[in-house]
């Protein structure tokens, strides 16, 4: 261990703040500190409380402690906040009116209870959805606010008044049911300590040493819990990094770590600034960005690692060009000896994953999405694609059953089941049966609703068959006449994100029409996306690159990292740009993203980007300009365009080319045309740049392209599109 790590291990008495920079070995410090305390005989194992934020982290910490201290290591309290509080409440919850067998309500239980209370109060569940109520109650509990506190703050806001009334009855019903939600575990533990000083004193005596990891992510009630426990001995050690506080939206309070020395008098602060993860170039870039945040403890990461490559800032024409650049760079790297698992692609918002996912899929690059779903597997996308499938083929029973009551039309599951049974008996489709619903006595009660749905579908069929609508116009017609966006707002969690996703599908359709021209019909589009949807699922342990949001990447590290969408309005997000506090948090998010990279970092931005159904021309992200220029290698050829006056002008930055890459529209996004006149047939032997030698075992015509199934000698069987697979026949 280095000198600062040793200081952190040997400082056992009094309050201690360990400011642990990214990649500075904080877990090693925690394990060795606990081992030192036990080996020095300062206390028994059960006198140590180590709190982490996930069960996985707690388990790993305990396992490492047991290796370091075989005797007694298992008796340490190493757990999450929630499990620690639950353990205390199971033992002493009767003192505040709960049995030792109290129930912990999950989200579904909460929803059912809140819907019942809303009905009881005559509150419209559509105006005040259960999910929104749960969110507001959770925020209140994070701040230790009672229903009465919420009611006072609501003043003349009728919606907040309604939520406060629901909150009051909700808490009473929980108590009657001998139940708590997850937030109650923390709040009730604090209440127990406040109402029963003898129990607080018992645990204060027991926990002589308290350690809290990821302290920058704690909220008010979590701070209160640990500070009460630490009052007797004062031996509280918190580990965190104010520069990585990125969870304000979850209730985290960065003030807890910023004000630690004021809260715990005489506190010692130890900074772990030596990084063992990244090159010095990457660290200098991270320091350059985060130094622009003024409200911070302040530290500068350094490393004995080599200087490493410059950070490549690549300017692309569009998000499709950006995605192709990512895919080609990965393929080139793998061809040079890297593994797919060396690569991570990070983005600010999930909607950005769509173009990247398509590029990786089309290039045959194994990948998995962490912290999200594949674009075409998201619920709202599956709903809209199901509508398109039914328009393309109304006798598709599976897709029709999915959307017959989405949005709700009063057509219950039992009605659909009866229609399916009739259809099966007649050997017809469900659509054929419900089209004549009033002819079947079993469906007579629902006949009017079924006929209404049929009329809706028939209208879409007529629009599609008329030839008067483009695919994008047909899609917008479906959104409008189903009132689907309003359904998302009223019925679904995170409606804004879901609406962004269905708008992104509109972007995909527009791009498809541009690429396929006259052959851009509905059937071909559905074939195109079914290819993307049917890509084999890769095992989580397999050699595949990962895609995730910047928030999901915290705590992880990769040899090569791409941070895409480095543009004002996207990152930082447009919602944060007028709020200095929000900008600070966005900058911390950039710092987290940069420090995920160990050896090589790519930053990408576009000249224009179609996102959420519209095209934008954004400036370069301020976070790029905050990186010292000497650390950057700018690539991406400037492209000439004609100004209205007819003179040539240049857009973009830099001109250096790498790996022969040109940012012009990538070939696999152009209208397909077999390259160099090459045609492929079953039985042909081929040589692929990444996958090596193989033989074509099947070839299926798809639009203007051909789907090839190729058995490679070393890489197994892959499915690639002929027009962009870059193979040689041998």
The catalytic site residues sit at 26-27, 213-214, 244, 596
Beta strands in 200-265 (DSSP E): 209-212, 236-240
Compute CA distances 562 → 180, 324, 438, 549, 661, whole Å. Answer: 42, 12, 58, 11, 16
Structure-token match 């302290």, residue found? 215
- Residues 6+ away with beta carbon under 8 Å from 158: none
Q: What is the DSSP letter of 627?
A: S
Task: Confirm if 250 and 596 have CB atoms less than 8 A apart.
Answer: no
Distance in angstroms (rounded) separating the CA atoms of residues 599 and 191: 49
- Which is nearest to 208 in space by CA: 37, 399, 443? 37
Beta-strand relationship, 48-52 and 209-212: parallel
Helices (H) and strands (E) in the chain, counts: 27, 24
Task: Point out which residues pair with 35 in neighbouring strands.
Answer: none
Which two three-digit tokens encode residue 228?
């009460």
With residue 434 as reference, give the H or E element that holds it.
Answer: helix 430-435
Question: Which of 373-376's residues contact partners 24+ apart within 8 Å by CB, and which partners?
Answer: 374/533, 375/501, 375/504, 376/529, 376/532, 376/533
Task: Point out which residues pair with 604 in neighbouring strands.
Answer: 314
Q: What string of H, E and C letters represents the secondary structure of 277-317?
A: CCCHHHHHHHHHHHCCCCCCCCCCCECCCCCCCCEEEEEEC
∠ CA 330-334-339, rounded to 5°: 100
Which two three-digit tokens encode residue 133?
């109520």
Distance in angstroms (rounded) separating the CA atoms of residues 314 and 525: 31
Task: Confirm if 4 and 273 have CB atoms less than 8 A apart.
Answer: yes
- Which is nearest to 545 in space by CA: 370, 726, 337? 370
Which two three-digit tokens encode residue 57?
């982290």
Distance in angstroms (rounded) separating the CA atoms of residues 726 and 660: 14
Distance in angstroms (rounded) separating the CA atoms of residues 666 and 673: 12
**Helix, strand, coil % over all residues of the chain, rounded to 5:** 50, 15, 30
Distance in angstroms (rounded) separating the CA atoms of residues 520 and 524: 6
In the chain, the N- to C-terminal Cα span, in Å, equals 55
Task: Confirm if 538 and 522 have CB atoms less than 8 A apart.
Answer: no
Distance in angstroms (rounded) separating the CA atoms of residues 694 and 252: 53
Q: Give the alpha-carbon dihedral of 67, 72, 76, 79, to 10 degrees.
A: 50
Q: How many residues does the chain have?
A: 730
Task: Confirm if 684 and 693 have CB atoms less than 8 A apart.
Answer: no
Distance in angstroms (rounded) separating the CA atoms of residues 149 and 147: 5
Distance in angstroms (rounded) separating the CA atoms of residues 688 and 679: 15
């Amino acid at each position: 261990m280095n000198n600062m790590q040793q200081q952190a291990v040997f400082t056992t008495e009094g309050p201690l703040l360990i400011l642990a920079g990214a990649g500075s070995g904080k877990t090693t410090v925690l394990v060795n500190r606990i081992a030192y305390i036990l080996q020095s005989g300062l206390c028994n194992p059960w006198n140590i409380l180590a709190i982490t934020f996930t069960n996985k982290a707690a388990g790993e910490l305990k396992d490492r402690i047991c290796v370091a201290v075989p005797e007694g290591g298992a008796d340490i309290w190493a757990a999450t906040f929630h499990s620690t509080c639950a353990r205390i409440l199971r033992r002493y919850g009767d003192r505040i009116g709960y049995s030792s067998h109290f129930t912990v309500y999950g989200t579904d239980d909460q929803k059912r209870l809140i819907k019942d209370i809303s009905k009881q109060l005559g509150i419209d569940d559509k105006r005040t959805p259960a999910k929104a109520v749960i969110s507001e109650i959770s925020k209140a509990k994070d701040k230790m606010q009672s229903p009465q506190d919420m009611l006072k703050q609501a003043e003349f806001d009728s919606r907040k008044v309604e939520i406060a009334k629901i909150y009051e009855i909700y808490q009473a019903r929980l108590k009657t049911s001998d139940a708590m939600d997850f937030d109650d575990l923390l709040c009730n533990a604090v209440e127990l300590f406040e109402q029963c000083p003898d129990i607080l004193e018992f645990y204060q005596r027991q926990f002589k040493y308290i350690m809290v990891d990821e302290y920058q992510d704690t909220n008010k009630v979590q701070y209160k819990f640990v500070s009460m426990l630490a009052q007797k001995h004062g031996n509280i050690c918190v580990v965190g990094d104010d520069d990585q506080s990125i969870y304000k939206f979850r209730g985290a309070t960065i003030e807890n770590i910023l004000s630690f020395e004021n809260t715990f008098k005489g506190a010692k602060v130890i900074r772990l600034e030596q990084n063992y993860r990244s090159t010095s170039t990457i660290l200098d870039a991270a320091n350059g960005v985060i130094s622009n945040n003024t409200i911070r403890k302040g530290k500068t990461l350094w490393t004995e690692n080599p200087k490493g490559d410059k950070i490549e800032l690549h300017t692309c024409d569009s998000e499709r060009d950006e995605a192709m650049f990512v895919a080609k760079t990965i393929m080139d790297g793998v061809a040079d000896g890297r593994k797919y698992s060396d690569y991570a692609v990070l983005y600010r918002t999930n909607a950005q994953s769509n173009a990247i996912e398509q590029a990786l899929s089309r290039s045959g690059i194994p990948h998995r999405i962490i912290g999200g779903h594949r674009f075409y597997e998201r619920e709202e996308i599956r709903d809209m694609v199901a509508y398109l499938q039914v328009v393309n083929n109304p006798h598709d029973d599976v897709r029709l059953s999915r959307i017959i009551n989405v949005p709700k039309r009063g057509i219950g599951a039992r009605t659909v089941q009866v229609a399916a049974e009739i259809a099966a008996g007649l050997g017809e489709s469900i659509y054929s049966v419900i089209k004549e619903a009033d002819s079947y006595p079993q469906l007579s009660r629902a006949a009017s609703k079924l006929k209404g749905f049929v009329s809706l579908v028939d209208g879409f069929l007529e629009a599609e068959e008329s030839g008067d609508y483009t695919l994008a116009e047909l899609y917008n017609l479906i959104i409008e006449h189903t009132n689907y966006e309003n359904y998302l707002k009223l019925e679904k969690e995170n409606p804004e994100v879901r609406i962004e996703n269905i708008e992104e599908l509109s972007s995909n359709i527009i791009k498809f029409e541009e690429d396929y021209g006259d052959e851009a019909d509905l059937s071909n589009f559905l074939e195109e996306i079914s290819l993307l949807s049917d890509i084999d699922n890769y095992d989580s342990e397999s050699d595949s690159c990962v895609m995730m949001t910047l928030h999901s990447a915290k705590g992880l590290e990769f040899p090569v990292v791409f941070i895409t969408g480095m543009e004002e309005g996207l990152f930082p997000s447009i919602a944060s740009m007028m709020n200095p506090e929000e900008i600070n948090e966005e900058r911390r998010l950039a710092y987290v993203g940069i420090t995920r990279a160990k050896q090589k970092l790519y930053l990408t931005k576009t000249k224009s980007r179609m996102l959420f159904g519209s095209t934008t021309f954004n400036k370069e992200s301020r976070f790029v300009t905050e990186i010292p220029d000497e650390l950057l290698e700018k690539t991406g050829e400037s492209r000439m365009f004609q100004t209205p006056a007819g003179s040539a002008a240049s857009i973009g930055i830099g001109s250096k080319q790498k790996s022969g890459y040109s940012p012009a529209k990538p070939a696999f996004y152009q209208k397909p045309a077999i390259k160099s006149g090459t045609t492929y047939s079953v039985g042909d032997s081929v040589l692929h740049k990444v996958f090596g030698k193989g033989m074509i075992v099947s070839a299926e015509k798809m639009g203007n392209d051909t789907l090839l199934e190729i058995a490679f000698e070393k890489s197994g069987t892959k499915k690639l599109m002929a027009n962009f697979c870059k193979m040689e026949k041998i």
